[in-house]
Chains A and B, each alone.
Chain A
Amino acid sequence: MKKLALALFMLAITLSSSFAQVTLTFWHSMGDYAKLPLDQLVAEFNRTHPGIEVRATFQGTYDETVTKMKTALLVGAGPDLAMVNIEHIQIFTQDNSLMQLDNLLAADPELSPEDFVEQFWPAIIREGSAYAIPFNISALVLYYNRDLFRQAGLDPDRPPATWDEMEEMARALTVVDARRGRTLQYGLLWAVDHMFYQFEPLVWQSGGDIFTEDMSQCLLDSEIGKETLKRWASWFDEGLSPRDLTVDEGVQSFMMGRVAMGAMTSGGIRYGLENLPWDLGVAVLPMNKEKATTLGGGSLAIMNHVSEEKREAAWTFIRWMVQEKNTLMWYERTGYMPVKKSALDSLEIQLIWRRFPQLKAPIDSIPYARPRPVHENIIEIRNILFNTVERVRQGVEDPETAFLSAVPRVNELLK
């Protein structure tokens, strides 16, 4: 009898372990439009991996996710894996919240840093180690309204390639009601948000840099920084770009056909194609002295506190998410770029371009793309720089001197 009971007990243990499922909580910042394809990817992963269940939950914007994760990790209630904005990685590596992935990468015969697009990989490296895997990487590209181009007598297949052309076209696209002195349509939207995201490529395109390579000094008080700020401010002074609209209001105006072109993230291309009431064109950002764009978006990271079992499951999930096929599906449905080199060389990407030619522009931007500067105090630094250019945009500070007062404060934070 005892033997039978023992046998039954052993059988129960065996059965329960064979049916055991690892459940992973996955926090992300893909709301609204991008949530649907992300949920589909997660559902497909769960379907094809019976031993693992990923529970994906939207946690708000990248910044909101940072706040929530910080709080949750403090009380030991954080996720098992998370989508972390590439410039926020530093915040979590500092307090040791993110798992260093070097060992997992080294032990994985199917995944290596060489598989990833060269320009994307440095975005997730901190002090020589990988702390996340690139997934939803975007580039700043030029969106333009092809209908308004046609109305202004411009060729919609020939978007501006240089700043000079962009200014010239913006003049042709700006419509002013002379009688009332009101601008009915703006030619250009180049507002800068609190992330300072849209200003970075302007400096690079002018041949300058924002920080030294070792992030010890801000270089915006240079002649190039000053000239870039003056040129940018002139777009508002001339009335080509709306001075009184925030970035969000500007984007809304662009969507309503009141602004003809603007620099925006590639992550919204498919949203634009499916929701805008006019023909959308997308192009590589116009160059000044050189071509450049900024990389943004997020990556997938594993939390340091997870068990070995969860770590293996999370790694399986990440590896699956960045497979050529899945990264291309994500690209086609959103505009975030495929992260594998093989995906860029694939036949499938050419079929995607045949269907959605607008999705080609971010890929064409990759050779000129740079990751965003990172630092433990990056949020405060961005705020100083954003407030500086904001005051210039509102006309309350002179672009000649604006960076002169901001840079010393930034340098203090860089120390």
Chain B
Amino acid sequence: MKIRMILILFFVLLSIVAFSEDRIIELEVRGNEKTKDFVVAQLIGYREGMVLDIEQLYIGKRALEDSGLFQDVYISVIPVGKDYRLVVEVVEATSIYPYVGPFMAIGIGDRNLFGLGIDAYLGLRFFRLGDEKLWDFLPIPQLFWGGPVAGIRIPRLFGSQIDLSVQGYLFREVPWYSVADFTELNRVTLSSVYRFETSAILLRLLYESGSTEFADDDSSEAMSTEGVLGPDEFNNLMIGVGYSYGDATNYERLRRNLYGNTFIDLGYVWDLPEGSGALYSRIFAEIGYYHRIIAQIYLLSETSVAVTPFGTPPLTQRFFPGRDVWDDLSFVPRHYIEETLHVGIPLTGGFGLAMTMDQAVFIPKLYLKGIIGDRSAVDDRIVIGAAIGLGLRWNTPLGISLEPQIYLRERAQYFKFNIEF
């Protein structure tokens, strides 16, 4: 009897507590001309009868802001009886954007296709920098047919926390550093991201096929003969799982910000010249640390670690660390660690110290790079590299950032030009 009374009391108290919470029973979306209401509801995580929870709404508002669909988001609540109506006022952003894809594919994208919040894009490869150079250093642009690329990204699929994306391309004449050229390279990638708090888990499935022509020089020929760069013709199926944490996109929002990601991939390559297939795996991790020293002057550290536990991945899945700064043929390692450290001094248009990143027009930068890795493509030696560089980023009024960089490394220098949209 006593236990029964206690149980009744417990459930009465529980129901009082449960029903005393403020709840949101309606959603009203204002200011959306193109975007469907359900897209806003999915992004903000609205469910009828949800508890009025500031933390949840904060995450939802950030999701709306970060979706790229809106230039302004304002949320409020209006009492409806004992409950609330959630009002989301949005100002839609331009959804059409110029698409710049892999291997200099250029096209057009719409972040909000038919108002469904789906990002869809289409690009073509018709422009490349040829071998001929003006004044011995400026590559001359050429027109050619290099194939199409298309993709879509569906955020918050069916109201879940999952973002789904698919990308496919059918490319030809794809240069692969100075090592090889693909006469054909076709790929389709399916990936899904599940977000929770400040982390995300990523699953991806990739299928690709390619035909390779190795460069006509001694070292590439030797490598291709020995098979260290993988087969000439291949099909590759790869499945990977990843974990990311922190905010790599908006890393400048906090004074100290740690972010990164890790991927473990397992793949199977077949149609090898020998006629059989082979398994391989690879592990890759990136860690970024942003530290605002004073005013907007910052230090950014980016560390990459890669390991190939077993097998030989096809050329497309090999590591080419440092890309442009290191000589392509010096590394092609199975394992490596690379560190890039840079200090930036954001300045206003009048060359005064910027007080906010929004004011930054010019950012002079000092780069320090270091790498240690094996030279499995050529021999078993361990190679160490270092470079020092200077860059000057210019945030143009058009929203495009340009950054010429010059690096000095052992007995050589390298010039690089970054364009960011």
Contacts and interface: CB of A to CB of B under 8 A. Distances in A.
Q: Do A and B interact?
A: yes
A275 B295 contact: yes
Given A273-B255, A276-B255, A347-B54, 11 more contacts: A36-B358, A36-B359, A271-B355, A274-B355, A325-B74, A325-B89, A347-B57, A347-B76, A350-B54, A351-B54, A354-B55
A275 B255 CA distance: 9
A32 interface: yes
A347 B295 CA distance: 31
Q: Name, among A277, A346, A347, A348, the residue most crowded by chain B CB atoms within 10 Å (CB to CB).
A: A347
B356 interface: yes
Contacts of A355: 58
User: Which of A33, A277, A346: most chain B CB closer than 10 A?
Assistant: A277
Contacts of B89: 325
- Considering the complex of A and B, which 5 residue pairs feature the smallest CB-CB distances, nearest first? A277-B294, A354-B58, A33-B355, A275-B295, A347-B77
B296 interface: yes
Contacts of B295: 275
Nearest to A324: B76
Contact of B355 (A32, A277, A325, A347): A32
B76 A275 contact: no
Interface in B316-366: 355-356, 358-359
Contacts of B355: 32-33, 271, 274-275
25 contacts: A32-B355, A33-B356, A36-B356, A36-B358, A36-B359, A271-B355, A273-B255, A275-B355, A277-B293, A277-B294, A279-B255, A346-B76, A347-B54, A347-B57, A347-B76, A347-B77, A348-B74, A348-B75, A348-B76, A350-B54, A351-B54, A351-B57, A354-B54, A354-B58, A355-B58
Interface in B59-76: 61, 74-76
Contacts of B359: 36
Nearest to B254: A273
B195 interface: no
A347 B74 CA distance: 9
B275 to A, nearest CB: 59
Contacts of B54: 347, 350-351, 354
B292 interface: yes
A277 B355 CA distance: 13
Contacts of B294: 275-277
Interface in B24-70: 54-55, 57-58, 61
Contact of A347 (B55, B75, B255, B293): B75
B296 A275 contact: yes
B61 A351 contact: yes
Contacts of A279: 255
B64 to A, nearest CB: 11
- The listed residue with most A CB atoms (<10 A of its CB), out of B89, B292, B355, B359, is B355
Interface in B391-405: none
The size bracket of the interface on A is 10 to 19
**Which of the listed residues A33, A273, A275, A279 has the most CB atoms from chain B within 10 Å of its own CB?**
A275
Nearest to B84: A347
A283 to B, nearest CB: 19
Given A33-B355, A351-B54, A354-B55, A274 B296 contact: yes
A161 B355 CA distance: 31
Interface string B266-295: 000000000000000000000000001111
B33 to A, nearest CB: 15
Contacts of B75: 347-348, 351
Given A36-B358, A346-B76, A277 B292 contact: yes
A292 to B, nearest CB: 30
A272 to B, nearest CB: 11
A274 B61 CA distance: 22
A36 B75 CA distance: 23
A274 B54 CA distance: 24
B77 A274 contact: no
Interface in A334-362: 346-348, 350-351, 354-355
B356 A351 contact: no
A178 to B, nearest CB: 29
A371 B74 CA distance: 31
A346 B296 CA distance: 31
Contacts of B358: 36
A285 to B, nearest CB: 25
Nearest to A342: B76
Interface in A27-59: 32-33, 36
Contacts of B61: 351
Interface in B234-277: 255
Nearest to B357: A274
A56 to B, nearest CB: 16
A279 B254 CA distance: 11
Contacts of A36: 356, 358-359
Nearest to A279: B255
B299 to A, nearest CB: 11
A279 B74 CA distance: 28
Interface in A283-329: 325
Interface string A247-282: 000000000000000000000000101111101000
Contacts of A346: 76
Contact of B356 (A274, A325, A347, A354): A274
A175 to B, nearest CB: 20
Nearest to A33: B355
Given A32-B355, A33-B356, A36-B359, A351 B296 contact: no
Contacts of A354: 54-55, 58
Contacts of A273: 255
A39 to B, nearest CB: 11
A238 B255 CA distance: 34
A274 B293 CA distance: 11
Nearest to B58: A354
A207 B75 CA distance: 41
A271 B353 CA distance: 13
A327 B355 CA distance: 22
Contacts of A32: 355
A277 B292 CA distance: 7
B66 to A, nearest CB: 13
Contacts of B55: 354
Interface in B61-103: 61, 74-77, 89
Contacts of A275: 294-296, 355
A202 B142 CA distance: 74
A276 B55 CA distance: 27
Contacts of B57: 347, 351
A325 B57 CA distance: 17
Interface string B164-180: 00000000000000000
A347 B44 CA distance: 14
Nearest to A32: B355
Residue from A273, A346, A348 with most neighbouring chain B CB atoms (10 Å): A348
A329 to B, nearest CB: 9
Interface string A100-144: 000000000000000000000000000000000000000000000
A273 B252 CA distance: 12
Which of B55, B61, B296 lies at the interface centre, i.e. has the most chain A CB atoms within 10 A of its CB? B61
A33 B61 CA distance: 25
Nearest to A270: B356
A350 B57 CA distance: 10
Contacts of A277: 292-294
A271 B74 CA distance: 23
Contacts of B292: 277
B257 to A, nearest CB: 13
